[in-house]
A and B are shown apart, each in its own frame.
Chain A
Amino acid sequence: MDPEPILLQARGPLRSGVAADGDDGAARMSTIAEPVPVADQARARRRARVRVSRDGLGAFLFLLPLLAVFGLFAWFPIIRAVVMSVQETNLVSVPTFVGLANFGRVLADPQLGIAVRNTAWFAFLALVFGYPVPIVLAVLMSEVRKGRGLYSALAYLPVVVPPVVSVLLWRFFYDASPHGVFNSALGWVGLGPLPWLQSGDTAMPSIVIESTWANAGATVIIYLAALVAVPPELYDAADVDGASVWQKIRHVTLPQLRGVLLVTLILQLIATAQLFTEPLLFTSGGPNNATLTVLLLIYRYAFQNSLGGEYGMAAALSLMLAAFLAIFTAIYYRLTRGWSTSS
């Protein structure tokens, strides 16, 4: 190895040291003593760089299949969607570039307003009814001493059932005739029959009930895990102070869960913005577009016309939704940064 550059490098701190320390002899002595460790450091750094790049190559080789798969099935479709949003294409003929025309047509579509309103309505209902349910379930289950595994399994079971199966089952439950499963049950207590999916007023709440049932389990598991992490001393201290169960939940459990609660809230909001399977299978967006969501509108653009749909418009609306969610999430984190860390 050529020592010359090391020496040159070594002189760097020496000179600056001199300039900084002026004519102080002691300081000069100490700076003169430094070149050796500096050279060592440089050598070590160089060795490290070589080792890193060798490791990097190996790591890269091992990563390659994953990168290829990820690129092919995640990034390539995303890029394709971006390209398609400025194209007019039926996926068979050669596409033509149309600039931002697709975006303009989406924004001019009267269905977009309906879809956004419906999606916001679902998000609101899911927040009011769907968000507290897993918290309550998790807190209750964490208090249970025996058979917690059984309750966890029961809570998680709906998540295991494939969504299509559960939706079709619930469709059957939601039969609007007086002999439907839910209407029979309501009949026993003198209520109903409700039209459930067969009316614009009740269709969306019906979907919220099913999706709460279907999705609560996964969130319950997250909360249960977070609850285990709450230091038991806090509860002991609360006990010593004579706190009731409710006070313990209010002043110990919920503040300790705050970080997780904020994350699950944004995850749920993102999920509700992408509501698709339920309205497609329950109602096809009906009656009279009462359950037409943004994602279902994207699907309609692409697939409603059997002769090859408006794939450009579908891609354009997808991008707009993605951009909205990204911006929304960024703002959300900025606003809540303070809440999640300090108590």
Chain B
Amino acid sequence: MHKRTTGRWSAIGSIVGLVALIAACSPVASPSSPSAAAPSSATNPSAAAQAPVTISVGVLRPGATQEAVDALNLQISEFEAKYPWITVQPEEYNWTAPTFTAALAAGTLPDVFTIPFTDGKGLIAQHQIVNIDSRVKALGYADKFNKNVVVNGEDASGAIWAVPIAAYGMSLTYNRTLFTQAGLNADQPPTTWDEVRAAAKTIAQKTGVAGYAEMATENTGGWQLTTFTYALGGRMETAGADGKVTATLDNPATKAALEKLKAMRWDDKSMGSTFDYAWGTINQAFAAGQVGMFTGGSDLYTAMVQNNSLKPADYGVTTIPLVGSDAGVLGGGTLAAVNVITRDEQRDAAVKWIDFYYLQKLLTQEGAVADAKALKANNQPVGVPALPIFDKATYDASQQWIKDYINVPTAQMTGFTSKIFDQPLVTEPVAHTQELYAALDPVVQAVLTDKNADIDALLKKADQRVQAILDAG
């Protein structure tokens, strides 16, 4: 285990070191040197709570509004009031594949950070995050996690290394104002892909902006093409009985999805002129009224309000049209993990923070109300649609608890909220997910920027590339 060696930490560390062993009453015993265990203090458990500890938490999205910062600070002060010996330092943090890798390798990630479901298993296998199983179990509600969700943060033996904090289902986000301007009914969003295509064409012709847009860079192209493929009944990987995973990128559903994009782009010319969107930039373009429809997570509303000054009246969200019996909606989510370069008492504090900041609001009325109050007081969205982290009953109850604080236009979200629980949820490809997405980015880009792109050849090449990665293990 590494220890931080900056001056600040060594100063705090020398104090903490003396008192560390006193924390023997905490769920996991600290392995500090026995010599530090002064018998007198060990017999005084009340002093244990007083060992000051500081943790950095990656919670502020870069470019967040002052109101978002204020809401966070309010929650941090509440946390520090509850655990007076813990100091929480908020840091700017936004997960993207390249920045995360660099920060991970450099050891500059915050003590608590978030990762997509897709990275849980890999980071656990490489021991790049901390096993917090006993600490999480000690919270007393680990058995209430939705099994399909918590598995993303578990190792092979079922120990929890990372805690699920949010889950999303893919959705079709659409701009109600553009729909109205184009003469479409914003309360009746498209329910089939033909309707999506027709609406996109109408919006492009009537308003001049992109009727439909697709993310294509920073691995998001592959992510969205996978979403589209699932909706048409295809899969990107299949696992054999022996557990061996085979790449199936050149499946008929993916081809059909690309053909649909090609038709919208080149026949209808309804996809505008920007084809290098990533997660952040497509949100920005949507909030600026430059995109009629796009597929993305159902939880985008928060980010678009916090970072892109979305006008709530513009926002509408509905489910993605599913075709055929194998079709499903791609579901993913976020895990909270603890940095491997932390000391034991920091890990204790980190799990307390994860419990307080991410989970209590989903679990208890007190936590839900406190969270909603803090957000609402600072004009932050309350009531954005998500998928349950715990069982459905807990989720429904949590929606009831915050009923009075909801400040998002829920009526504009019923297209999604009324139907999402009827859609079969399909997890993201399990093996080498981000590499698979990366291999598909150029395919999406080619179809959107080259009229003569050979879809079959592109998919075959990408499939070979991913299969080689899978074979290498």
Contacts and interface: CB of A to CB of B under 8 A. Distances in A.
A91 interface: yes
B101 A308 contact: yes
A176 interface: yes
A180 B443 CA distance: 26
A90 interface: yes
A197 B275 CA distance: 9
Chain B interface bracket (under 10, 10 to 19, 20 to 34, 35 or more): 35 or more
Given A308-B105, A311-B105, A283 B126 contact: no
A304 B122 CA distance: 14
A44 B445 CA distance: 75
A307 interface: yes
Interface stretch (A132-140, A212-220, A284-292): A284-292
Nearest to B221: A286
B308 interface: no
A287 B434 contact: no
B339 to A, nearest CB: 11
A169 interface: no
Nearest to B121: A307
B207 interface: no
- A contact patch SS: loop
B273 A195 contact: yes
Chain A interface bracket (under 10, 10 to 19, 20 to 34, 35 or more): 20 to 34
A54 to B, nearest CB: 38
Contacts of A92: 104-105, 126-128, 340
A305 B434 contact: yes
Contacts of A198: 273-276, 449
A286 B105 contact: no
B273 A306 contact: no
Contacts of B276: 197-198, 283-284, 286-287
B434 to A, nearest CB: 5
B273 A308 contact: no
A309 interface: yes
A177 B272 contact: yes
Contact of A90 (B126, B340, B453): B126
A166 B450 CA distance: 27
Given A198-B449, A286-B441, A307 B101 contact: yes
Given A288-B442, A288-B450, A304 B97 contact: yes
A287 B446 contact: yes
A199 interface: yes
Contact of A93 (B122, B126, B217): B126
Interface in A299-313: 299-300, 302-309, 311
Contacts of A197: 276
Given A195-B449, A305-B438, A306-B119, A287 B275 contact: yes
B438 A287 contact: no
Nearest to A309: B101
Contacts of A110: 461, 465
A93 B57 CA distance: 24
A177 B450 contact: no
A288 B446 contact: yes
A177 B273 contact: yes
A305 B273 contact: no
B218 interface: yes
Interface centre among B101, B434, B438, B461 (most CB of A within 10 A): B101
Given A92-B105, A284-B218, A177 B126 contact: no
B127 to A, nearest CB: 7
A180 B449 CA distance: 18
Interface string B442-464: 11011011100100001001000
A36 to B, nearest CB: 65
Contact of B101 (A177, A283, A287, A303): A303
28 contacts: A90-B105, A90-B128, A92-B127, A197-B276, A198-B273, A198-B274, A198-B449, A200-B446, A200-B449, A283-B217, A283-B276, A284-B218, A287-B275, A287-B442, A287-B449, A288-B449, A288-B450, A299-B98, A303-B98, A303-B101, A305-B97, A305-B432, A305-B438, A306-B98, A306-B104, A306-B119, A307-B123, A307-B434
Given A289-B442, A304-B435, 8 more contacts: A92-B128, A176-B273, A193-B273, A198-B275, A198-B449, A286-B216, A305-B434, A308-B105
Interface of B: 95, 97-98, 100-102, 104-105, 115, 119, 122-123, 126-128, 216-219, 272-276, 278, 340, 432, 434-435, 438, 441-443, 445-446, 448-450, 453, 458, 461, 465
